[in-house]
Amino acid sequence: MADGAVQVADGLPTSQTCFFQLRLPPYSSKTVMADRLRYAIHNCRSIDMDNYMLSRNMDAAGAAAAAGHPASDDEY
């Protein structure tokens, strides 16, 4: 990804509200995607938390790599 963020498979979506972008990581199914989107809509109410989400995604990517599931470099 251009901004250095790592997307973890089946992770939460991220957004850049100033650019009207919604980034969806790769999902294992449409059901998982729908669940993650619903969770984000109902529970992630803060904006301007870019550094928090970046560090959270980096931690999740490290955990995924340690478990043998490399993060994807694809941008959706």
Per-residue model confidence (pLDDT) at position 75: 46
5: helix, strand or coil: coil
Tokens of residue 31, six digits: 């059901």
Amino acid identity, residue 53? M
Per-residue model confidence (pLDDT) at position 36: 93
pTM over 0.85: no
| Residue 50: closest CA among 24, 10, 18 | 18
- Written as tens digits, the pLDDT of the chain (76 aa) is 445 556 678 988 888 777 888 899 999 999 999 999 999 888 877 655 555 556 666 676 666 666 665 555 444 4
Provide the annotated active-site residues. 18
The DSSP secondary structure of 20-40, one letter per residue, reads TEEE----SSHHHHHHHHHHH
